[in-house]
Chains A and B, each alone.
Chain A
Amino acid sequence: MSGFDKVVTSYEEAMAGLQDGMTVIAGGFGLCGIPEGLIAQIKRMGTRQLTVVSNNCGVDGFGLGVLLEDKQIKKMVSSYVGENALFEKQLLNGELEVELTPQGTLAEKMRAGGAGIPAFFTATGYGTPVGDGKEVREFNGRPYILEEAITGDFAIVKAWKADRYGNCVYRHTAQNFNPMAATAGKITVVEVEEIVEPGELDPSQIHTPGIYVNRVIRGTFEKRIERLHVREEA
């Protein structure tokens, strides 16, 4: 079964083949469930002119925000980018392009991309700037806009555990966009907290089947918290 062993042991191997101008789909919501080591590797590689598809763009100095430091990102496709001063600066001086996409539409674009569906109709964004220039069709008396799927040259994903065959499970809300991202990359790389042997994960509890996954690497994670909010013990 060695043909199914997806495990790689270095970040160089994990991101091998990434080139200037490519599209990278990244899982994560804010700083939760982001492939920290894979992002760091892209920074080390210095790959430029990237289109990055991710719900957010990290914060200054962490997450995808680090790729802004050396101007590696040409375009972001995101639903919300408000947490990042460097992002704001590069956007305002024209060094960075952003395509704001409603969060559910973004998730569905990735899902559709991974499922071989080139486009879909949705009510989201009809009558708003998001719908400008897009085809409108009425179904059952309601207008919908046509949105196109997204695929990436690479997808970078954070999972909790994976087995050697690339079957993945996510932990808590660190799941978010990761399962859709995993399906939508020509090369999907998953960074995990723990690699286990095939059979150790319950087959009926797998979130992402290994067929979508090309490479698995074990990482160590800082898991920075963006907004710590605690309540007093009762």
Chain B
Amino acid sequence: MALTREQIAQRVAREFKDGDYVNLGIGIPTLAANYVPDGISVMLQSENGLLGMGPYPTEAQVDADMINAGKETVTAITGSSIFSSAESFAMIRGGHVDITVLGAFEVDQHGNIASWMIPGKLVKGMGGAMDLVAGAKNIIVTMTHADKYGNSKLLPECTLPLTGVNCITRIITDLAVLEIRDGAFYLAEHAPGVSIEEIKKKTAGKLIVPEHVPEMLF
């Protein structure tokens, strides 16, 4: 069975190490904050200028001056810091953020990512995504393995305008965990109940399948 959004988020959270500074994109990546494993502390970076983002506020805590990069009201944890956008992107571009998790339309076997622009559709902008993929040490992409018509989103070459080149390290989909290795997708884990055959069928790019592919743990 393909994973739900929550299950993908749960698997993402297993990537976190104690003491990691993490930037989570909008959508499934944000959900990963709900599944940080016991005994692990991460500090969430929000690129509008907050390190140590907390949960959404209660009604009484709502403060218009306290928002996240998705422009939602938010809180700050004890020990957080708040700074300018230039400072925020200095920590991103300077490689100080340990893990970035973001969604994508397409990825390819060279580690390229397309996530911001579909030609012919109105382009709203890249926000901070290009900076994040150019700067973070470890970039994890979450997405469904194929689109709703069954077309693979893991390609030999991205077809859409890129967000960044040769930058992503891991892909966590509803079917599998894959790594970018030597110009190919390396199958690291399969989702419970998902066959290797299905993953092969839905991966258009070059796929390396090792002899033993472990089942994903949550």
Q: Are B64 and A105 interface neighbours, CB within 8 A?
A: no
Q: Once the chains are docked, how many angstroms separate the CA of A230 from the CA of B63?
A: 11
In the complex formed, the residue of A with least CB distance to B89 is A104
B3 interface contact, C-beta 8 A: no
B residues within 8 A CB of A91?
A: 122
In the complex formed, the residue of A with least CB distance to B69 is A29
Q: Identify B48's interface contact among A78, A176, A232, CB under 8 A.
A: A176
Whole-angstrom distance between the Cβ of B64 and the nearest chain A Cβ: 4
Q: Identify A122's interface contact among B63, B76, B134, CB under 8 A.
A: B134
Q: Are B126 and A226 interface neighbours, CB within 8 A?
A: no
B161 interface contact, C-beta 8 A: yes
Q: Are A102 and B66 interface neighbours, CB within 8 A?
A: no
Q: Are A126 and B165 interface neighbours, CB within 8 A?
A: yes
In the complex, per-residue mask of A109-139: 1 if CB is within 8 Å of any chain B CB, else 0: 0110000000000111111111000000000
Q: Once the chains are docked, how many angstroms separate the CA of A171 from the CA of B50?
A: 12
Q: Are B89 and A128 interface neighbours, CB within 8 A?
A: no
B residues within 8 A CB of A79?
A: 125-128
In the complex formed, the residue of A with least CB distance to B165 is A127
B83 interface contact, C-beta 8 A: yes
Whole-angstrom distance between the Cβ of A86 and the nearest chain B Cβ: 13
Q: Are B135 and A124 interface neighbours, CB within 8 A?
A: yes
A24 interface contact, C-beta 8 A: no
B residues within 8 A CB of A219?
A: none
A66 interface contact, C-beta 8 A: no
Where chain A touches its partner, the secondary structure class is loop
B residues within 8 A CB of A78?
A: 125
Q: Are A103 and B164 interface neighbours, CB within 8 A?
A: no
Q: Are A223 and B65 interface neighbours, CB within 8 A?
A: yes
Q: Identify A174's interface contact among B65, B68, B93, CB under 8 A.
A: B65
Q: Once the chains are docked, how many angstroms separate the CA of A173 from the CA of B92?
A: 17
In the complex, per-residue mask of A171-196: 1 if CB is within 8 Å of any chain B CB, else 0: 11111111110000000000000000
Q: Identify B74's interface contact among A81, A104, A130, A229, CB under 8 A.
A: A229
Q: Are A177 and B64 interface neighbours, CB within 8 A?
A: no
Q: Once the chains are docked, how many angstroms separate the CA of A201 from the CA of B165?
A: 46
Nearest 6 CB-CB pairs, A to B? A104-B89, A82-B124, A104-B131, A127-B165, A80-B125, A223-B64
Binding site for B on A (CB under 8 A): 29-33, 55, 78-83, 88, 91-92, 100, 102-108, 110-111, 122-130, 160, 171-180, 207, 223-233
Apart from A126-B134, A231-B55, what 5 extra A-B contacts exist at CB < 8 Å? A32-B48, A80-B125, A102-B127, A176-B84, A231-B57
